[in-house]
């Protein structure tokens, strides 16, 4: 079956591999030629992923029978609506359904009117004085969010990217002047985790939980990035998450899918919940209308099932359960020095793939071209899979040594020390808390 994949990052390399393994004949459109995808693809078109007309032209030229959308920006541009109106069934939500990610105020209001569990307090402001007065009266630390897509860079939290509520008011005022509106939320303390599900609009099929490391530098400091790495555990939970927490997070996503259908925006594709495990249980930080990057790499590395069949199940409304191996995964992204603020670009790096494979690790290509020249974002990921988290982490770490150049990565991703830190945060919040094994 001829399948179009839109997007050329690490997430899409992992999706492309899984589709080909499932029997797909792969065609890719992305803004650069991902060397991993180029090896797998029968056809490769270079275009901006939001250029719906050009993507559609390639899709027709290749006569594709199914499409799979990787990133969020083309969803917002209405790529699913356009492909489906040409008779090409597509894995991904329509523009209207993708508002769960692309319009953060809409998503919060949707949760409120449908009584979705895992909500947090929020307010939307278009008036600077009103916003300032409300934050003063509220008094507790807030989160300031632009309403639309910002590639993970627009959200600022008091105590982290913002010193105090005074700085929050300044930033919120700037956003009102720029965008007309701003979203202010209460700050929720705890530990973040990712739950991704497949859905055909009715059935919801969970994938293993993953934890992402969004900060640029070790010990969770520095600017927020797309994610410098991630891990998952053989039991598909995380050390600080109980089965009961997991069930609550899943209920949030299940109720979301039900309510989307009820409101007339049936949602199909992958729904990603970014949760904060607070002292009182999981709270939804935000929805994403696609796989996470790097989280897709973790779960697809242990998918013991056929992604092409799952994709057909999604578009035909016949989704069935999916199996995943009981293995641990560790993904370490390698980024150009200076990423994300001032990355080295245009420099060729050395990637000794044979050496990486000999260590038992896998390579996933991302923002790097066919000459292995850095393009400015996360360049490639090294993946370790093992029976235990320790084993997976060691494999990934050994693999990284075979990449040389002006690059950096986080050594602490998936290490016991970094996980202990998260467990101790939960101990402080929960008192009686007992970690589960990973």
DSSP letters spanning 197-245: EEESSS-EEE---BEE--EEETTTEEEE-S-SEEEE-TTSS-TT--HHH
**Angle 301-64-366 from CA coordinates, rounded to 5°:** 35
Q: Does 208 bind ligand GLY (CB under 6 A)?
A: no
Pick one of 17, 212, 397, 412: the residue that binds ligand GLY (CB under 6 A). Answer: 212
State the nearest-atom distance from the C-beta of 135 to ligand GLY, in Å: 27
Q: Does 49 bind ligand GLY (CB under 6 A)?
A: no
The nearer residue to ligand GLY, 31 or 261, going by C-beta atoms, is 31
Q: Which window, 12-20, 41-49, 261-269, 292-300, contacts ligand GLY (CB under 6 A)? A: 292-300
State the nearest-atom distance from the C-beta of 194 to ligand GLY, in Å: 7
3-state secondary structure at position 278 = strand
What region, left, alpha or beta, does residue 421 occupy, with left being phi > 0 and alpha being psi -120 to 50 degrees? alpha
DSSP strand pairing (43-46 vs 25-30): parallel
* DSSP for residue 436: P
Q: Does 288 bind ligand GLY (CB under 6 A)?
A: yes
**Residues contacting 342, CB < 8 A, separation 6+:** none
State the nearest-atom distance from the C-beta of 210 to ligand GLY, in Å: 9
Site residue total, ligand GLY (CB under 6 A): 8
State the nearest-atom distance from the C-beta of 54 to ligand GLY, in Å: 25
- Window 150-179: residues binding ligand GLY (CB under 6 A): 152
The nearer residue to ligand GLY, 165 or 252, going by C-beta atoms, is 252
Residue 255: both structure tokens together: 């109720």
CA distance 41 to 27: 5
Binding map of ligand GLY across residues 126-155, x = CB under 6 A, - = no contact: --------------------------x---
The nearer residue to ligand GLY, 242 or 288, going by C-beta atoms, is 288
State the nearest-atom distance from the C-beta of 115 to ligand GLY, in Å: 26
| Burial (Cβ within 10 Å: 0-12, 13-18, ≥19) of residue 319 | buried
Q: Does 76 bind ligand GLY (CB under 6 A)?
A: no
Pick one of 70, 71, 292, 340: the residue that binds ligand GLY (CB under 6 A). Answer: 292
Residue 325: both structure tokens together: 């191996």
Helix H or strand E encompassing 269: strand 269-278
- Window 227-246: residues binding ligand GLY (CB under 6 A): 227
DSSP strand pairing (328-336 vs 407-408): antiparallel
DSSP strand pairing (211-212 vs 191-199): unpaired
- Window 294-323: residues binding ligand GLY (CB under 6 A): 295
Q: Does 367 bind ligand GLY (CB under 6 A)?
A: no
Q: Which residues of 195-208 are buried (b: 16+ CB within 10 A; e: fewer)?
A: bbbbbbbebbbbbb
Pick one of 293, 369, 393, 397: the residue that binds ligand GLY (CB under 6 A). Answer: 293
The nearer residue to ligand GLY, 362 or 378, going by C-beta atoms, is 378
Q: What is the binding site for ligand GLY (CB under 6 A)?
A: 152, 212, 226-227, 288, 292-293, 295
């Amino acid at each position: 079956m001829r399948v179009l994949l839109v997007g050329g990052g690490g997430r899409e390399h992992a999706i492309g591999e899984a589709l080909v393994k499932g029997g797909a004949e792969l065609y890719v459109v992305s803004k650069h030629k991902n060397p991993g995808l180029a090896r797998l693809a029968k056809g490769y078109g270079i275009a901006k992923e939001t250029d719906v007309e050009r993507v559609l032209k390639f899709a027709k030229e290749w006569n594709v029978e199914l499409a799979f959308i990787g990133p969020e920006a083309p969803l917002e541009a209405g790529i699913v609506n356009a492909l489906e109106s040409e008779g090409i069934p597509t894995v991904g939500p329509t523009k209207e359904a993708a508002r769960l990610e692309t319009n953060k105020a809409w998503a919060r209001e949707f949760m409120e009117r449908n009584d979705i569990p895992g909500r947090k307090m929020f307010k939307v402001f278009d008036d600077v004085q009103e916003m300032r007065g409300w934050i003063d009266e509220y008094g507790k630390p807030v989160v300031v969010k632009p309403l639309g897509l910002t590639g993970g860079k627009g959200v600022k939290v008091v105590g982290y990217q913002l010193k105090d509520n005074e700085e929050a008011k300044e930033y919120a005022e700037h956003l009102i002047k720029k965008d007309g509106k701003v979203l202010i939320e209460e700050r929720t303390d705890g530990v973040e985790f990712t739950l991704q599900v497949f859905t055909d609009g009715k059935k919801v099929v969970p994938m293993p939980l993953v934890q992402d490391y969004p900060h640029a530098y070790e010990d969770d400091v520095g600017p927020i990035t797309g994610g410098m790495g991630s891990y998952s555990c053989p039991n598909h939970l995380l050390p600080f998450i109980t089965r009961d927490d997991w069930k609550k997070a899943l209920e949030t996503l299940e109720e979301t899918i039900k309510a989307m259908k009820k409101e007339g925006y049936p949602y199909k594709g992958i729904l990603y919940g970014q949760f904060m495990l607070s002292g009182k249980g999981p709270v939804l930080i935000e929805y994403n209308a696609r796989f996470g990057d790097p989280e897709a790499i973790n779960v697809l590395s242990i998918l013991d099932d056929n992604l092409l069949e799952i994709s057909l199940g999604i578009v035909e409304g016949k989704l069935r359960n999916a199996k995943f191996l009981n293995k641990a995964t560790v993904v370490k992204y390698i980024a150009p020095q200076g990423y994300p603020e001032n990355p080295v670009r245009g420099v060729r790096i050395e990637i000794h793939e044979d050496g990486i494979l000999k260590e038992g690790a896998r390579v996933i290509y991302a923002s790097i071209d066919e000459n292995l020249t850095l393009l400015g974002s996360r360049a490639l990921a090294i993946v370790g899979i093992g029976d235990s988290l320790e084993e997976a982490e060691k494999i990934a770490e050994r693999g990284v040594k075979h990449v040389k150049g002006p690059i950096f990565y986080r050594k602490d991703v998936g290490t016991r020390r970094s996980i202990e830190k998260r467990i101790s945060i939960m101990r402080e919040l929960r008192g009686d808390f007992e970690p589960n094994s990973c």
